[in-house]
Structure formats: C-alpha cells, structure tokens
C-alpha cells in the first residue's frame, strides 16, 4: 500500500487546515503554503480541535506527530511531497496557476489532488505537463474526522494514480469513494444542494425557520442517514417486500408539484437577512469554536458506536485502527533499552473513562495495565500471529495500588518492569504516570502461558522463552519496585 511520508497543502482555509490536522496526526510531515500571515494561528486551532477529538475517538495510539512547516511559496511547499493537496478558492484560473507552480518543483511521481467541491478534473488538468497524476479528492468538513473523500479522475488521469492516491488516503483513515464518471459537484454535494435549495424555499416562503429545518433533519432522517444513507433507509421503508414495493408505493409522489428543486429563490437582501438573523437566533449564543467542539464530540461518539456495530463509517474507523496497530506491531527487540522499564502504553484520558468526580474511573486503571501487558507480550514474541497459532498468556492475578488522581483530557503513560519469567510464568510490574511525572498507580500481574485449544498451561516456544529471559535478566539489575509482592495493606 502506498503511504505518505511528506505532504504539501496549498491553502490553509477550513478544508486545508482539516487536511493538515489529519495528515500531521497520522505522522505525516506537512509543508504548507498560504499567503495569509494568520495562517499558522488558524491551523493551530484546527490541529488542537483534532487532537482533542482523536484523544476520544481512537482506542489505539497514533504514530508520532508529523512536522509542520509553513513555506514561502507553492513551489517550495511542493518540492519533496508525495502528495500535493490543493485547497485554494473555487476559481479555475487560480487553481490552474497553482498547478503550474506545483509542477515547477514537484516530483513527476507526486500526486496532485484538488479539494474542489465541484469543478471537473478535466478542466483542472488542461495546462498540466503531467495531467495523468492529477485528480479531485473532495473531502468533507471536518476533514480530520469525516472519512469520505470523493475521488474523481479527469480524461487524462491514470487508473494507477487513482489507485495510488486511494491507498494514500486509506493509510490516514479515509474512505476514498471512486466516482467513475465526471459530473459537476460530484455525488455528495449534488445531494446536499437539493436539500439546501428546498430548505431555502421553506425559509423564503415562511414555512419554517432555520432551526425548525435543522430539527427536522437532526431528530429524524439525519440519524438514519448517518448509518444507512438514502437507499438502504428506503429499502427498510418498503418492509419485507423491500425496495421494489417502496418505489411502487411512493414513486408516483415524485410527480406531485410539491418541490422547488428545479428553482432557486432569488437571493434578495430580505432573504439573506432572514436566513442570517434566524441562524444567529438559533446558534449565536455559542462561539464557532464551541460549536466545532460539540460537533466533534457528537461525531466521535457516533463513529465509535458505528465501529462497535461494524457498520457504515465505523468500518473505516475499525480498519484504520487495525492498520495503526499493524504499523506499530513490528518490534525491533534488539533495539530495546533493557536498562530501564519498558514504555508500554500512552493515552489521553477520554470522557467515557470519567467517574462522577471527573476522575479516571478505577476500572480504567486496569485497562491501562491490560494494554501495557499486551505490549509486553508482543515484545517477547506473543503477537497476533503467535496467538493465531493457538498459544497465549492469560492473566491469573492482578494487584493495583491507586496513588493519585488523573482527570479527563490529561495524558498518562505506562512503563513496565519484568520481575520474573521462566517456564510458563511471567510476572510484570507496571507504573502508571501522569503527564507531569506523578506516579498515579502501580499494577502487578502474574501471567501464565496457555494452549488456547486445551486451555491448559504449557511452555512457550523457544523465541518467547529466550526473550523473556533476556528482559527478566536485565530487569533484575533494576531497583525492586515499591509495593512489589504486596497484598492489600489492611490487617483483619
């Protein structure tokens, strides 16, 4: 699969900054060009929102954050990029001039992807020397959370370039939807535009306010669309007889004169004021930042539920997490520093881990130690492939000491010391630290190696035995942890 080491983003508006955030948090180095002196400040706000959202979205660690660099020209930003994402205003002449600058410095192997919401790629690539690697990759706001990217090639775009770009976007958790025939506004925006037109007529004619229209969507069909889209929703509406019955029953309604879809209300000052004033009344009590964060919180929870149910966009999130896990699964055992406890887990405390005091609930201290134990298992060779062959370690005893508190949104990390290991047994001691260095808790675990078919204890293979022996031997030189071997400190 094609991955991205360095990307360029040309234009740091709402969409450009969304791309920047998604790329950076996936470990990609990002070069940016935007003529506005305020661009770094605006980008920082979006990156902060993305970091906040990802802390609650993912159950696995992201790679180390990429490096962000603002460049003085389009050519400088594009020079060493694997993919160049154009996110400048929707004017064909501006976009074409940007592409000429890109081609003056970019590798001929680099992908050029436009974020346009409607201009045809064939028009965009007219003046390019290498048009075969240019396409549309139309994302949706917020780009760092919504996975969809409409992939549209022009007349001269190669199939190989579409495949390469799709692989790149999948590697950062996106869902590239290849639209095989060019059409203005592609798919999603054409659907959105039809709803937008009808909504403007409803406001214009005094039928509904902006808030009433939004309520009709968010309390009704919007919830269905988030998981099933349009056609699958209507398939269910047809009952056991399915889509054919639905069309035969409701299809004739489409001929009724109840819609303004082919017309657009005149954008008079009166209509603009009406829409703007109603929108201010509806949402003006909240800042844009507050609305963005509430939107992100809701999207995170919806995506996580869809992931748990293996449905819709949740499948993309699940695949993304599995890919992140695979990318960190390869452990160079020889490169580990065994002269100190091994770093085994890091996370930011999500909202769902909170108790009624806003602290991390005691259940999740164990979850942190469980994840740390999984990492130790992988380090000594008990990884997914090993487990798939029928053997693993089971935890048979755990002792946790709670020493300090940690709040939602704060960072924690776990380091692990192997106390002893030999034969079927592996004894480990975990230290849970706050981001400020405070020791929050310790957890001691005894694990037994078992055969998954017989469920009986057995010896590991030679690689695992040797690795456990190496870590255990090295960690014998460390100071014995305070509390090791300790039972509950309460005399009866």
Residue scoring higher pLDDT (104 or 56): 104
* CATH assignment at residue 350: 3.10.129.10
Cβ atoms 441, 403 nearer than 8 A: yes
Long-range Cβ contact pairs of 332-341 (< 8 A, separation 24 or more): 333/379, 333/467, 336/379, 338/470, 338/471, 338/474, 338/475, 339/474, 339/477, 339/478, 340/415, 340/478, 341/415, 341/416, 341/417, 341/431, 341/475, 341/478
**Inside any domain, residue 480:** no
Q: Per-residue pLDDT for 406 more than 90? A: yes
Range scoring the smallest mean pLDDT among 321-330, 336-345, 402-411: 321-330
Q: Which residues contact 168 (CB under 8 A, 6 or more apart)?
A: 2, 3, 4, 82, 83, 111
| pLDDT beyond 60 at 130 | yes
Locate 276 and state its tokens: 């703007």
What pLDDT, in 10s, does the model give residues 148-204? 999 999 999 999 999 999 999 999 999 999 999 999 999 999 999 999 999 999 999
CA atoms of 230 and 260, how far apart (whole Å): 20
For residue 322, pLDDT over 90 is answered with no
> Which pair of tokens denotes residue 26?
């996936």
Q: Do 170 and 195 belong together in one domain?
A: no
pLDDT at 490: 55
- What percent of the chain has a predicted confidence (pLDDT) above 70? 96
The per-residue DSSP string of 161-212 comes to HHHHHHHHHHHTT-EEEEE-S--TTTTHHHHHHHHHHHHHHHHHTTS--HHH
392 or 271, higher pLDDT = 392
Q: Which pLDDT belongs to residue 254?
A: 65
Q: Look at 246-255, 418-427, 434-443, 476-485 and tell me which has the smallest mean pLDDT.
A: 246-255
We report the CATH number of the domain holding residue 265 as 1.10.1040.10
242 and 272, same domain (yes or no): yes
- CB burial of 367-380 (b: ≥16 within 10 Å; e: otherwise) equals ebbbbbbebbbbbb
Are 30 and 168 in a shared domain?
A: yes
How many domains does the chain divide into? 3
Distances 40 to 16, 24, 361 between C-alpha atoms, Å: 12, 14, 37
Residue 268 confidence (pLDDT): 87
pLDDT over 90, % of the chain: 74
Which pLDDT score, from 0 to 100, does residue 168 have? 97
Q: Cα dist. 474→313, 336, 445, 468, 482 in Å?
A: 45, 11, 19, 10, 18
223 and 193 in one domain? yes
Look at residue 485 and tell me if it is in a domain: no
Is the pLDDT at 6 greater than 80, yes or no? yes
Which range has the worst mean pLDDT, 72-81, 240-249, 397-406, 410-419?
240-249
Residue 61 has a pLDDT of 77
Is residue 390 within 8 A of residue 452, CB to CB? The reply is yes
Most confident of the ranges 231-235, 331-335, 394-398, 484-488: 394-398
Q: What is the pLDDT of residue 303?
A: 94
| Mean pLDDT of the region 8-35 | 97
181 and 227, same domain (yes or no): no
Residues 6+ apart with CB under 8 A from 23: 4, 7, 9, 30, 66, 172
Mean pLDDT of all residues belonging to the chain: 92
Contact yes or no for 444/427 (Cβ under 8 A): yes
Contact 44, 73 (CB under 8 A): no
Is the pLDDT at 134 greater than 70? The verdict is: yes
Sheet of strand 411-422, all strands in order from the earlier edge strand to the far edge: 342-348, 411-422, 425-434, 439-451, 391-402
Q: How confident is the model at residue 486 (pLDDT cuts 50, 70, 90)?
A: confident
**Radius of gyration from C-alpha coordinates of the chain:** 27
Joined together, the tokens standing for residue 287 give 């800042």
Whether 229 and 175 share a structural domain: no
Query: Contact 296/52 with Cβ under 8 angstroms?
Result: yes
Rounded distance between C-alpha atoms, residue 383 and residue 432, angstroms: 23
On whether both 356 and 264 belong to a single domain, the answer is no
Q: Pick the last residue of a domain from 133, 164, 185.
A: 185
Is residue 147 domain-shared with residue 20, that is, in the same domain?
Answer: yes
Q: Evaluate whether 103 touches 134 at the Cβ level (below 8 Å).
A: no
Q: Where are the alpha helices (DSSP H) in 337-404?
A: 362-379, 384-388
17 shares its domain with 139 = yes
Find all residues with CB under 8 Å of 445, minimum gap 6, and list them: 369, 373, 395, 397, 398, 399, 427, 428, 429, 430
Average pLDDT over residues 141-154: 97
Long-range Cβ pairs for the range 307-314 (8 Å, 24+): 311/227, 312/226, 312/227, 312/228, 312/229, 313/146, 313/147, 313/148, 313/175, 313/226
pLDDT value, residue 109: 95
Tokens of 252: 């004739």
What angle (nearest 5°) sits at the alpha carbon of residue 441, between those of residues 438 and 447? 140
Residues 108 and 205 placed together within one structural domain of the fold = no
Q: Using the predicted structure, report yes or no on whether residue 391 has a pLDDT greater than 90.
A: yes
Are 22 and 148 within one domain? Answer: yes
Which of 117-121, 205-209, 262-266 is least confident? 262-266
pLDDT band at 358 (very low <50, low <70, confident <90, very high): confident
Mean of the pLDDT values across residues 90-99?
96
Bridge partners (DSSP) listed for residue 426: 421, 447
Which of 36-45, 115-124, 345-354, 474-483 has the lowest average pLDDT?
345-354
Q: Is the pLDDT confidence value at 95 over 60?
A: yes
In a domain, 483, yes or no: no
∠ Cα 145 132 90 (to 5°) = 50
Residue 65 counted as domain residue: yes
The residues, ordered by sequence, that sit 6+ positions from 94 with a Cβ below 8 Å of its Cβ are: 88
What's the predicted TM-score (pTM) here? 0.79
> Does residue 302 lie in a domain region?
no
Question: Do 413 and 459 fall within a single domain?
Answer: yes
Predicted confidence band of residue 347 (pLDDT cuts 50, 70, 90):
confident
Residue 481 lies in a domain: no
Q: What is the pLDDT of residues 282-312, one digit of tens each?
A: 988 889 889 899 999 999 999 999 998 989 9
Question: What pLDDT shows up at residue 16?
Answer: 97
The pLDDT of residue 59 is above 90: no
325 domain residue, yes or no: no
Give the pLDDT confidence of 219-269 residue by residue, as tens digits: 999 999 999 998 988 888 888 888 888 878 777 766 666 666 667 788 789
Task: Enter the DSSP assignment of 39.
Answer: H
| Distance from C-alpha of 266 to C-alpha of 362, rounded to nearest angstrom | 59
Please check whether residue 384 lies inside any domain of the structure. Answer: yes
Check if the beta carbon of residue 369 is closer than 8 Å to that of residue 414. Answer: yes
The parent domain of residue 43 ranges over: 6-185
pLDDT of amino acid 253? 67
Q: For residue 418, what are the β-bridge partners?
A: 428
């Amino acid at each position: 699969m094609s991955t991205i080491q360095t990307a360029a983003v040309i234009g740091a508006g709402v969409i450009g900054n969304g791309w920047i955030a998604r790329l950076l948090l996936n470990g990609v180095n990002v070069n940016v060009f935007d003529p506005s002196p305020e661009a770094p400040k605006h980008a920082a706000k979006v990156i902060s929102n993305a970091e906040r959202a990802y802390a609650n979205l993912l159950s696995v660690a992201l790679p180390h954050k990429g490096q962000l660099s603002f460049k003085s020209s389009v050519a400088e930003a594009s020079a060493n990029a694997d993919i160049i994402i154009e996110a400048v205003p929707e004017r064909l002449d501006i976009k074409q001039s940007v592409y000429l600058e890109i081609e003056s410095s970019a590798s001929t192997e680099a992908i050029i992807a436009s974020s346009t919401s409607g201009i045809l790629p064939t028009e965009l690539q007219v003046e390019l020397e290498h048009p075969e690697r240019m396409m549309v990759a139309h994302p949706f706001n917020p780009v760092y959370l919504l996975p969809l990217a409409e992939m549209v090639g022009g007349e001269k775009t190669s199939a190989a370039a579409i495949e390469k770009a799709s692989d790149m976007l999948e590697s950062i958790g996106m869902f590239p939807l290849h639209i095989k025939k060019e059409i203005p506004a592609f798919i999603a925006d054409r659907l959105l535009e039809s709803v937008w037109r009808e909504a403007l007529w409803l406001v214009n004619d005094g039928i509904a306010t902006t808030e009433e229209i939004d309520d009709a969507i968010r309390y009704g069909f919007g919830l269905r669309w988030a998981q099933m889209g349009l056609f699958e929703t209507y398939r269910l509406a047809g009952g056991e007889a399915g889509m054919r019955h639905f069309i035969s029953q409701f299809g004739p309604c489409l001929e009724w004169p109840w819609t303004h879809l082919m017309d657009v209300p005149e954008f008079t000052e009166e209509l603009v004021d009406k829409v703007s004033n109603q929108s201010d009344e509806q949402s003006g009590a909240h800042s844009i930042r507050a609305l963005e964060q509430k939107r992100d919180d809701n999207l995170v929870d919806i995506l996580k539920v869809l992931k748990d149910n293996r449905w819709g966009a949740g499948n993309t999130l699940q695949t993304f997490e599995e890919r992140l896990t695979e990318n960190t699964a390869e452990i160079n055992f020889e490169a580990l520093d065994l002269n100190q406890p091994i770093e085994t887990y890091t996370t930011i405390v999500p909202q769902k881990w909170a108790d009624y005091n806003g602290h991390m609930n005691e259940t999740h201290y164990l979850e942190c130690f469980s994840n740390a134990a999984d990492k130790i298992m992988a380090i000594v060779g008990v990884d997914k492939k090993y487990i798939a062959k029928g053997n693993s370690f089971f935890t048979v005893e755990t002792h946790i000491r709670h020493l300090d508190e940690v709040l939602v949104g704060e960072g924690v990390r776990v380091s692990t010391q192997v106390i002893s290991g030999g034969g079927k047994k592996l004894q480990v001691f975990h230290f849970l630290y706050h981001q400020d260095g405070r020791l929050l808790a310790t957890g001691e675990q005894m694990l037994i190696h078992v055969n998954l078919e017989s469920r009986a204890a057995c010896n590991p293979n030679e690689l695992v035995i040797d690795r456990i022996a190496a870590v255990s031997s090295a960690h014998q030189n460390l100071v014995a942890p305070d509390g090791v071997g300790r039972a509950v400190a309460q005399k009866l």
